[in-house]
Amino acid sequence: MQSTIQLTGLEFYAFHGVTEQERTVGNTFLVDISIDADLSKSMDSDRLEDTINYAKVYTLTKKEMEIPSNLLEHVAGRILHTLLNHFSAIEKTTVAIAKKNPPIEGQVDWAKVIVSQCKN
């Protein structure tokens, strides 16, 4: 049975960007995660060890967000691979990272990168 777990609006203050100012001053980032997995075992058992622990997903994401990177693509890819490697039940995951007020000429509220991968 296919199910989806979503964690949305994970907010972090981090130091990602290509400019020195971004890596020194930091910025607000929002992360959304979608995980497709067979959760039928946990639906029957009602046991945390039979599902994908949301708190652990958050902790792994936070750890990756704390590592400064030039590109959002790189951060999103690290989160994606960390989740796929940590949770064997994941069939597909999508990670979206948005940076508030990116340093672009003109008014832009958020710049967002979305990456997805299916487990092989």
Catalytic residue annotation: 99
Helix (H, G, I), strand (E, B) or coil at 100: strand
Alpha-carbon separation of residue 81 from 10, 29, 34, 41, 119 (angstroms): 18, 19, 13, 24, 10
DSSP-assigned letter for residue 73: H
